[in-house]
Amino acid sequence: MLIDSHAHLNFEDFNDDWQSVTEDCLKDDINYICVGAQYETSKKGIAIAEKFDSGVWASVALHPIHVEGSKFHPEKFDPIEYGRLIESSKKVVAIGETGIDFFHNDDTFTKQKEVFIQHLNLAEEHDLPVIMHGRNSKDGTKSAYKEMVKILKDQKVKGGVIHCFGGSVAEAQGFTDLGFHIGFTGIITFDKTGQLAEVIKSVDLSKILVETDSPYLAPEPNRGKRNQPQYVRYVAEKIAEIRQLSYNKIEKQTSQNTIKLFNL
C-alpha cells in the first residue's frame, strides 16, 4: 500500500471522473488525502472522502494564494465555518493546505501570516495536524519556509507536513527540528539541480511523506499529463533510488509515517 498524502481530486480537473479515478486507486492499493484549498473545495473533498468506506480522507483550509487581497479568487477565512466543516465529518484528518506564498502573492504577506496563524489555532483547537504550503519569492530573496518556521516556533501544533518541498537542506531542517514532516512530489523525478536529492538524503526516513499534488506536477515518465494518485509510486521509486533502499522499504515506511501523522 502507498498513501498519497496530498491530492486535489476536489479540483475541476477531476470533475468528470474523480469517482472512477478513486476506484482505480483503491484497486491498486493507493490511498489518498483530498486536500482543500478554499471553502468549496474543502467541502467537496469531504464529500468525496465520505463516498468511500476507507482509503480516502480530507483536509480543510484556505490556501495562502486565496487570502483577502489576492489576485487569485480571494476569500475571507472564517474559522467558525471551517470548524463546522471539521465537525461535519470524521473523514477530516488535517488542516490544510495553509502557509506562506511569496511567489504568487508577495504583497499579501501580512494577511497570509494572519490567516496561517488562524489555521494553526484551528488545528490546535481540534487536535489535528497541519498540511503546509510554502513557496519562496521568484528572486529567491524571501524564504517562505523561514518565515513559517518562525511562526511555528510560537505555536502549539500537533504536528504536520510541509508539502511539495522545494527548499534547501537547511530549510528542511528548520521544519524537522520542530518535529514536522517533509512531503516530496514528482518534482524529484525531474529536478536537475540535485538540491532535492540532497534534502532526501538528509531527512530522517521517519519524517518523509510521498505525494502527487494531483492534478499538478506529474512525475517522469508522465510529465505533461494530468497527475493522479496512482503516480505516487514514481515518487516512492525515486526516493528509494536516492536513498539506495528497496522500493518496499520506502512504501512501508512512508505509509507508516502518514498513518501515524494523520491518525488514519
Is pLDDT of 155 > 80? yes
Q: Output the pLDDT for position 6.
A: 99
| For residues 106-119, average pLDDT | 92
Is pLDDT of 151 > 80? yes
b/e burial code for range 98-124 (CB count within 10 A of at least 16 → b): bbbbbbbbeebbebbbebbebbbebbe
Q: Output the pLDDT for position 70.
A: 87
Is pLDDT of 156 > 90? no
pTM of the model: 0.97
Is pLDDT of 201 > 80? yes
Tell me if 226 sits within 8 A of 13, measured CB to CB: yes
C-alpha cell at 17: 471522473
User: pLDDT class for 29, splitting at 50, 70, 90?
Assistant: very high
Residue scoring higher pLDDT (206 or 158): 206
Give the tens place of pLDDT for each residue, 69-111.
888 899 999 999 999 999 999 999 999 999 999 888 777 889 9
Q: What distance in Å separates the CA atoms of residue 171 and residue 165, rounded to the nearest whole number?
A: 9
Q: Output the pLDDT for position 104.
A: 81
Helix axes 109-126, 79-88, angle to 10 degrees: 40
Q: Output the pLDDT for position 136.
A: 82
Tell me if 63 sits within 8 A of 35, measured CB to CB: no
Show Cβ contacts of residue 178 under 8 Å, excluding neighbours closer than 6 positions.
149, 152, 153
Chain centroid offset of residue 105 CA: 19
Q: What distance in Å separates the CA atoms of residue 115 and residue 250, rounded to the nearest whole number?
A: 34
CA-to-CA dists, residue 250 to 3, 49, 93, 238, angstroms: 11, 25, 23, 10
Q: What distance in Å separates the CA atoms of residue 69 and residue 112, rounded to the nearest whole number?
A: 10
Is pLDDT of 137 > 90? no
Show Cβ contacts of residue 123 under 8 Å, excluding neighbours closer than 6 positions.
94, 95, 129, 130, 157, 158, 160
**Residue 71 domain boundaries:** 2-262
User: pLDDT class for 139, splitting at 50, 70, 90?
Assistant: confident
Percent of the chain with pLDDT over 90: 91
Q: How many domains does the chain have?
A: 1
Q: What is the CATH number of the domain that holds 78?
A: 3.20.20.140
Q: What distance in Å separates the CA atoms of residue 101 and residue 107, rounded to the nearest whole number?
A: 10
Is pLDDT of 140 > 80? no
Closest-CA residue to 41 (of 70, 71, 7): 7
| For residues 118-147, average pLDDT | 91
Q: For 28-37, 69-78, 125-134, which range has the lowest pLDDT when averaged over its residues?
A: 69-78
Is the bond preceding 74 in cis, omega lying within 30 degrees of 0? no
The mean pLDDT of the chain is 96
Q: Output the pLDDT for position 105.
A: 74
Closest-CA residue to 85 (of 124, 52, 51, 40): 40
